[in-house]
A and B are shown apart, each in its own frame.
Chain A
Amino acid sequence: MAAVCIASRVLTKKVLSSKALPAVSQSSRKLHFSIYGKSNAKVSDGISTQYPVVDHEFDAVVVGAGGAGLRAAFGLSEAGFNTACVTKLFPTRSHTVAAQGGINAALGNMENDDWRWHFYDTVKGSDWLGDQDAIHYMTEQAPHAVVELENFGMPFSRTDDGKIYQRAFGGQSLKYGKGGQAHRCCCVADRTGHSLLHTLYGRSLRYDTSYFVEYFALDLLMEDGECKGVIALCMEDGSIHRFRSKNTVIATGGYGRTYFSCTSAHTSTGDGNAMVTRAGLPCQDLEFVQFHPTGIYGAGCLITEGCRGEGGILINSEGERFMERYAPNAKDLASRDVVSRSITIEIREGRGCGPEKDHAYLQLHHLPPQQLATRLPGISETAMIFAGVDVTKEPIPVLPTVHYNMGGIPTNYKGQVTRSTLVPIFFIHPQVQKGKKCRLGSTVARTSAVPQAFFYCGCLSCSPQVITHTPEEGDKVVPGLFACGEAACASVHGANRLGANSLLDLVVFGRACAHTITDICTPGEKLSPLKPNAGEESVANLDRLRFANGSLRTSEIRLNMQKTMQNHAAVFRTGKVLKEGCDKMDAVYQTLDDIKTFDRGIVWNTDLVETLELQNLMLNAVQTINSAEQRQESRGAHSREDFKDREDEYDYTKPLAGQQRKPIEQHWRKHTLSTVDPKTGKVTLKYRPVIDNSLDAEDCAAVPPAIRSY
């Protein structure tokens, strides 16, 4: 007869009092927590599995040790916080190491440059879905961040007079788009990510961060809407570890592995997004998945945009430089989504290369071999190994491949995770009248004497429920939770990311999280109490998966998911195909209940870890495809064949005078917030407005939306 023990902790002495209750629950999945060794006598007969739990307490916990995670971790250690860094991979194996291109910063080494031009380029690149305050923060901090990296010892490529070499990169221009191509991507040949990560790792060893390497983070420990820590599985010995802390930073990267063909490592499984989803919080803009134009055909390995920056061109089967037709000014250095679409259209119209006419060629052999050897050594090697091509003689076969996730955990520009509280408001705001500007700078469309569901300016700072103005304008901060890097959505990349902005995003927002935590907390603060059995559901799930005995293997379900996503949510999307994809994804999600694992051990159980990763990938995949199906417009990386235009509050293809501003429910210039019920796989979508004002309107004016053409 199973006895269920309830553990309670008396405050003064850590003594366990146990009450034996008659067994009531049918489910044998109920776990109970007890401090080891105490009062186990009654229960010891009835125990089938035990999971030892080690409890740790820190001032801050960072999940993930890539570029953003390391920067946040040692930033916090530098500020005196007791920091833990929990990572499932050794820090130098994080996917940041694979980044090739570079970091954008308006240093002005190659020509006169201004960070406000970089700001403009990023806002335009995001197709006006990026939050301009976060973009302002990032582009203004960029030169400082790059100089800081250089001071850490990062071996940037140099010009002849010893300054940091900056190359041309997609979407970068001078003088707000009117001054031609800008050269602002600081690089280390074509191995910038590798260099960045190793520099950060080397630097981090100077500080006393506690690294928990090869610990797989399972879930957040949430209580009363506040994040109180993380629970993780130590892969080496199978013990469970609970890290209690007042501040948790998520820097777990993206989820490229939801697609069959991607440039991401096998470890890019969206663990952070899934942890946040399971905690009941929304994820933002997951439908925006970037397809990098030049991934090697077949292998999927990345050929950096830097090739095109150094002068490489894309050609079709007729030998034509087709980008001139699609982007007359920027040509091959147009924004990535434009180039990906162009390649896809060329292939569809029959001008693809190769025997199956299903890819394009990237030509580099017209460049001097010496330049290829100094500036692009990495891709020369990659092309030889994965495509068997000598770049000094032949072109590389390339195809658009999934590369980056613009969406993620919604944060403000300081790195704090936010949850939007757009709820129906049934009052009239006394102060805001039609035509007046609300704090966001948007004009209120109308007020009415009749209670209505939403305010048309779409922001809650005009709501009577918010008596004091909050900088988060209706977005409420989730206490104790931060996010940075690819896992976060600040949102600096909006609907499309410009190349070389991601590495910048990592270091700037990693540092921003550290600064914000330093501002709001002090080291050594007492932790709020946590329920003794916190994290029980995560361990129950782990246990269930460890002994799963269905009929489908993890690899089969994963392949089904990847093929569905690749076929139904690719570069060009159609309503019918997306809907079919949503239904198929839902069916695949349900098959998770029928999963079968083979390794019953707990030490280095990679079958179990892959299954946990599959659960995480599934949550990301269902949100991606459902958000894509709902968004009926084409914006940035999300292009719909049945809704080819961008739907903003005004029609920016025509003069604005005389146009009526559309209410937020009728246009699509808004962020998607998606939540999932993990038990059923049902996705719920809400929306939140874009932040259109920069941090300082006098220093850097916000960019009003316009047509996006290159």
Chain B
Amino acid sequence: STVKTASFSILFLRAGQTKPGFLPRIRDEFRQNSNIKKTDVMHIEYLYRRGQRQLDQLKDVNTKQLGTFSKPQAES
């Protein structure tokens, strides 16, 4: 449900406040998955469980930053 997602995202944002790279990534992830239909319960629940695990990991004091390796688009 959208309420759950909202409170969930707040937890993530709080966790990521002091660590570089977290906030944009979290925002992107939530935005990316925002277009799932409300009725697609299995998918939502899977993402929620995965999100819980990711949250625990991000909250952990040993996780320091989020970055990305990007591959530039191939020359056409």
Q: Which A residues are within 8 Å of any B CB, using their own CB?
A: 2-5, 14, 23, 26, 28-38, 43, 46-58, 82, 84, 210, 236-237, 240, 532-533, 536, 539, 543
Stretch at the interface among B3-11, B34-42, B63-71: B63-71
Chain A residue numbers with a CB within 8 Å of B23 are 37
Q: Which residue of B lies closest to A58 (CB)?
A: B62
Residues 53-75 of B at the A interface (beta carbon under 8 Å)? 53-54, 57-58, 60, 62-75
CB neighbours (8 Å) of A543 from chain B are 71
A14 touches B20 (CB 8 A): yes
Return A177 CB to nearest CB of chain B, in Å: 51
B43 CB within 8 Å of chain A: no
Cβ B54 vs Cβ A237 within 8 A: yes
Q: A46-B73, A55-B65 are in contact. List 10 more A-B contacts (CB 8 A).
A: A28-B75, A31-B69, A31-B70, A32-B70, A36-B66, A37-B24, A50-B69, A54-B58, A55-B64, A57-B64
Q: Which chain B positions have C-beta within 8 A of A240?
A: 69
Give CA–CA (A543, B71) in the complex, Å: 9
Residue in A34, A82, A532 whose CB lies within 8 Å of B70: A34
Contact pick for A55, options B24, B63, B72, CB 8 Å? B63
Report Cα–Cα, A620/B68, bound state, in Å: 31
CA distance A31 to B70 in the complex (A): 5
Task: Indicate the size class of the contact surface on chain B.
Answer: 20 to 34
Which residues in A have their C-beta under 8 angstroms from that of B60? 210
Determine the main DSSP class of B at the interface with A: mixed
Bound-complex Cα distance A539 to B21 (A): 19
Question: Taking CB as reference atom, which chain B residue is nearest A533?
Answer: B69
Contacts of A52 in B (CB 8 A): 25, 66-68
If the complex has contacts A33-B69, A54-B57, are A48 and B74 also in contact, measured as CB distance less than 8 A?
yes
Report 7 cross-chain contacts, Cβ distance below 8 Å, ordered by A residue: A31-B71, A32-B70, A52-B66, A52-B67, A54-B65, A58-B62, A210-B60
**A56 B64 Cβ-Cβ under 8 A:** yes
* Contact A47 B72, CB 8 Å, known A35-B21, A37-B23: yes
| Contact A54–B66 (Cβ < 8 Å) | yes
Contacting residues, chain B, for A38 (C-beta < 8 A): 21, 24
Find out whether the CB atom of A54 lies under 8 angstroms from the CB atom of B72: no
- Using Cβ atoms and an 8 Å threshold, which residues of chain A touch B68? 33-36, 50-53
Query: Would you call A28 and B20 a contact (CB within 8 A)?
Result: no
For the complex, give the distance between the alpha carbons of A55 and B75 in Å. 30
- Determine if A236 and B24 form an interchain contact, defined as CB atoms under 8 angstroms apart: no
CB <8 Å contact, A53 and B74: no
A residues less than 8 Å from B63 (CB atoms): 54-56
Determine the distance from Cα of A133 to Cα of B20 in the docked complex, in whole angstroms: 48
